[in-house]
A and B are shown apart, each in its own frame.
Chain A
């Protein structure tokens, strides 16, 4: 499992203890677990199973052991896509979470004019579907009739085309950042709101200033939220699909069929009919994601030195 018992302890809310252990609560949790088994556990088991086979023209489905995994690890297209999302992750996630954290702290500091308006307006992009966000930004990126083109005309400059092969990853990073800054901000903000005020009073008596309070009280207090947001963002980066897939029609030369691992797996199965290999790629990505999420979580939950 991706999270250790350590994190478990940090995440599980306090639970009321009952004297009797009874199976009756399973009538409450049972329905969730039943559907969960159908749409999460069964597909995972099934994909593990089919990743061990190969469809052949003659002889149909043949058991090939770990051949598909060997193939993936020697597949330059797979490595290229994995490198690309890793680069994306290392750059985009810190920028996005940094902005979110800054806004959350600014809102929580009560030093903003009109903070309610800020909170709701910055959160709104979360309500916009990835399809609409990608289409919107895709149009705005346009050098011919988009905003970039407008700016070029207006100032007589020639800004680089955001949808060119060199810049398209940055362009996608911007879209993803735009979509999720507000969402992460709200997670951090909610966590900040529940810090007991007695802590601030104690800090004030000790003569601590705003920055000291942020560093010594607020950031440690929302550590759990930070770790969770980081893990969700990492998962999101490794899963990158919607934005590149939608921008593909606007930038067909810049976005290859193996631009991200997810796009690669999708194209393998739905354009190439290579279901077994697609499942293998997906499983490897699942393992990579879990390992990275686990590492982040271990580091994040480590007791402060």
Chain B
């Protein structure tokens, strides 16, 4: 934040406002604390102790070992699958959003308005309307129950396109592109040598949002995948949870809780480490100041 002048611009700090906002903060953070605290408990003390404080032996490490070794290490397999879906799906979605958003921001071309209308219109179509027919289509193409059935639909991120579009129209001076054109550079060459660098904060932002969408995806893989060997973490965790409810199934709540913690740690770490970049990317217009 830049220093501001004047009393409106630099108001006095308010303890009352801080406290009231603090309630929202507590609401946001307490469940995460609950998750961490309870992943340090054994299954038996999970049932017998107060949820918001530590109790019994500190079993976090044991729980982690149990989680990654349970059922021949299927959790690690799910982890690997999730990484695969993120790298291919979110990576691809980011690339398509970058070049598409760049085109929408910096070029005039035939059909541009139609592109906008179709993409915005499609955002309003609920996933349900698409899920069943997409499943049927993919099953005709023999793609269901393969990684492709999760990766291909993940390649489209209308929100990513929109972010990139707003970002590119602010971050790349048109004069720069004109100058490159005068110098005789092709549009793709200009894009890779000049524009891509200017787009970096926007790219980090889009990467994070498409990564979250893919990492957390539940509905799509639930429909497309039957073979647990291709499950991502989300489906796997829920199958562990549902196992307790089935007759004769082993209740493994400590593994569900520790597995949940292991699932969210990478994303939270990414958000914290990269916050400088993605926040500046999100506030696309801040370059105006």
With known contacts A39-B152, A129-B216, A190-B283, A181–B12 Cβ distance under 8 A = no
Residue from B50, B215, B253, B282 within 8 A of A150 (CB atoms): B50
B8 touching A239 by the CB < 8 A rule?
A: no
Most interface-central of B1, B9, B128, B129 (chain A CB within 10 A): B128
- Does A62 make an interface contact (CB < 8 A)? no
Q: Within 8 Å CB of B153, what residues of A?
A: 39
Contact with B along A232-249 (1 / 0, CB 8 A): 000100110110011001
Q: Looking at the assembled complex, report how far the CB atom of B216 sits from the nearest CB atom of chain A, in whole angstroms.
A: 4
Which residue on B lies nearest to A262, using beta carbons? B128
- Does B17 make an interface contact (CB < 8 A)? yes
Q: Within 8 Å CB of A159, what residues of B?
A: none
Q: Within 8 Å CB of B212, what residues of A?
A: 126-127
Contact with B along A248-267 (1 / 0, CB 8 A): 01101000000001100110
Q: Within 8 Å CB of A132, what residues of B?
A: 35, 234, 237, 260, 263-264
B28 touching A110 by the CB < 8 A rule?
A: no
Residue from B117, B268, B288 within 8 A of A194 (CB atoms): B288
Main secondary structure of the interface of B (DSSP, over half): helix
With known contacts A197-B4, A289-B125, A35–B155 Cβ distance under 8 A = yes
Q: How long is the Cα–Cα vector from A25 to B104 in the complex, in angstroms?
A: 8
Stretch at the interface among B68-76, B131-139, B196-204: B131-139
Q: Which of B91-129 contact A (CB under 8 A)?
A: 96-97, 99-100, 102-111, 113, 115-129
- Does B81 make an interface contact (CB < 8 A)? no
Residue from B24, B50, B123, B130 within 8 A of A181 (CB atoms): B24
- Does A17 make an interface contact (CB < 8 A)? yes
- Does B32 make an interface contact (CB < 8 A)? yes
- Does A71 make an interface contact (CB < 8 A)? no
B131 touching A266 by the CB < 8 A rule?
A: yes
Residue from A15, A16, A282, A286 within 8 A of B177 (CB atoms): A16
Q: Looking at the assembled complex, report how far the CB atom of A104 sits from the nearest CB atom of chain B, in whole angstroms.
A: 10
A8 touching B117 by the CB < 8 A rule?
A: yes
Most interface-central of B1, B96, B124, B174 (chain A CB within 10 A): B124
Q: How long is the Cα–Cα vector from A47 to B136 in the complex, in angstroms?
A: 9
B237 touching A47 by the CB < 8 A rule?
A: no
Which residue on A lies nearest to B246, using beta carbons? A249
A147 touching B34 by the CB < 8 A rule?
A: yes
Q: Within 8 Å CB of B125, what residues of A?
A: 40, 44, 286, 289-290
Q: Which of B275-289 contact A (CB under 8 A)?
A: 275, 279, 282-286, 288-289
Residue from B46, B166, B170 within 8 A of A145 (CB atoms): B46
A2 touching B130 by the CB < 8 A rule?
A: no
B169 touching A289 by the CB < 8 A rule?
A: no
Q: Within 8 Å CB of B6, what residues of A?
A: 200-201, 204
Q: Within 8 Å CB of B272, what residues of A?
A: 120
- Does B229 make an interface contact (CB < 8 A)? no
A120 touching B275 by the CB < 8 A rule?
A: yes
Q: Within 8 Å CB of B130, what residues of A?
A: 39-40, 43-44, 47, 282
Q: How long is the Cα–Cα vector from A75 to B216 in the complex, in angstroms?
A: 33
Q: How long is the Cα–Cα vector from A109 to B136 in the complex, in angstroms?
A: 51
A129 touching B234 by the CB < 8 A rule?
A: yes
Which residue on A lies nearest to B219, using beta carbons? A241
Q: Within 8 Å CB of A265, what residues of B?
A: 128, 131-132
Q: Looking at the assembled complex, report how far the CB atom of B195 sits from the nearest CB atom of chain A, in whole angstroms.
A: 11
- Does B193 make an interface contact (CB < 8 A)? no
With known contacts A16-B169, A36-B119, A112–B46 Cβ distance under 8 A = no
Contact with A along B1-43 (1 / 0, CB 8 A): 1001011111111110110111011011101101100100000
A140 touching B126 by the CB < 8 A rule?
A: no
Contact with B along A126-153 (1 / 0, CB 8 A): 1111111101110110001111001000
A124 touching B108 by the CB < 8 A rule?
A: no
Contact with A along B216-250 (1 / 0, CB 8 A): 10110011000000000111011001101100000
Residue positions of A touching B, CB distance < 8 A:
1-3, 8, 11-18, 21-29, 31-33, 35-36, 38-44, 46-47, 50, 99, 102-103, 106-107, 109-114, 118, 120-133, 135-137, 139-140, 144-147, 150, 154, 178, 181-182, 186, 190, 193-194, 196-197, 200-201, 203-204, 208, 210, 213, 231, 235, 238-239, 241-242, 245-246, 249-250, 252, 261-262, 265-266, 269-270, 275, 278-279, 281-283, 285-286, 289-290, 293-294
Those 4 A-B pairs whose CB atoms lie nearest each other, nearest first: A28-B103, A194-B285, A129-B216, A1-B121
